[in-house]
Amino acid sequence: MKYDIIIAGVGGQGILSVAFVLDNACVAKGVHFKQAEVHGMSQRGGAVQSHLRMSEAPILSDLIPRGKVDMILAVEPLEVNRYLPYLASGGRILSNSDPVENIPNYPDIEKVHDHLLALPGVLLLDAKAVARVAGNQRAQNMVLTGAASSFIPFFTAVELEAHIHALFAKKGEKILDLNIRAFRMGRELGILSGALTARGIDAKTVFALTSKLQPDTVSGDHAAGWAEALAVEGAASRLAALETPIPSGPEGYPTLLG
């Protein structure tokens, strides 16, 4: 078994922190891995990406060939486009919806979202909103790490959290706790989003739902209930029209079923 990821974003978004957690999880679990990085300059909003390869068997190259990436994990949505040629058939795109407008002609963000949501295998998450609920919007990278962890083989959530602890413990209990919360909320959103997608719910509807759910109430255990609710005729349009956050559990279903 192997799993190849390109982690993408711009300088200052904590791309290397994501890689730190996954790399150290590989070391602790005895999983073979190789990582290759290209660093951008955060003050210039430079592109940052990391090829991360994980496998049960030894890995010969630290660069992932085109057409072989299992997941593009993007902390900045426009950066996804750089790496689409690397995505394998059936591969997954997991992207933050929040932009870093680091160029003067950055396209309209709704057009960026529409482009991404039309791609196969995409999950778009409002990691900034989730991180804000966790305690600090800078924890968007840990929200996405949590969401990605629901698809990456090899590791349990507890195993990954041990390395989040190692990364943030020296920064104090408050910083550590909010990053753990961000990871856990992201993981539940990833589980829920993946389950809805597997039931045939389109990416645009999944994004609309996850953007409106109260992130600290989300549980992947509610996927079946939401799939039933969203299967009702007109449910998706009613969801899109909602202006206030809704709880993720069964108490939220009547919003769409009613």
153 pLDDT exceeds 80? Answer: yes
18 pLDDT exceeds 70? Answer: yes
CA distances for 252 relative to 205, 241, 247, 249, angstroms: 16, 15, 5, 6
Asked, for residue 250, whether it belongs to a domain, the answer is no
Cα(192)–Cα(135) distance, integer angstroms:
22
pLDDT score at 45: 61
Domain count, the chain: 1
Asked, for residue 247, whether it belongs to a domain, the answer is no
Residue 44 pLDDT level (bands cut at 50, 70, 90): low
Instruction: Tell me the per-residue pLDDT of 45-66, one tens digit each, with 9 for 90 and over.
Output: 677 888 999 999 999 888 999 9
Asked, for residue 157, whether it belongs to a domain, the answer is yes
pLDDT score at 39: 60
Asked, for residue 8, whether it belongs to a domain, the answer is yes
Mean pLDDT value of segment 173-193 = 94
Supply the mean pLDDT for the chain: 89
Q: What's the DSSP call for residue 252? A: G
Asked, for residue 214, whether it belongs to a domain, the answer is no
Asked, for residue 220, whether it belongs to a domain, the answer is no
Asked, for residue 216, whether it belongs to a domain, the answer is no
pLDDT score at 122: 95
Q: Which residues contact 209 (CB under 8 A, 6 or more apart)?
A: 196, 226, 230, 239
Domain range enclosing 10: 2-186
Q: Which residues contact 70 (CB under 8 A, 6 or more apart)?
A: 3, 4, 5, 88, 91, 92
| CATH number of the domain to which 135 belongs | 3.40.920.10
Cα(238)–Cα(51) distance, integer angstroms:
40
pLDDT score at 41: 53
Asked, for residue 203, whether it belongs to a domain, the answer is no
Mean pLDDT value of segment 91-110 = 90
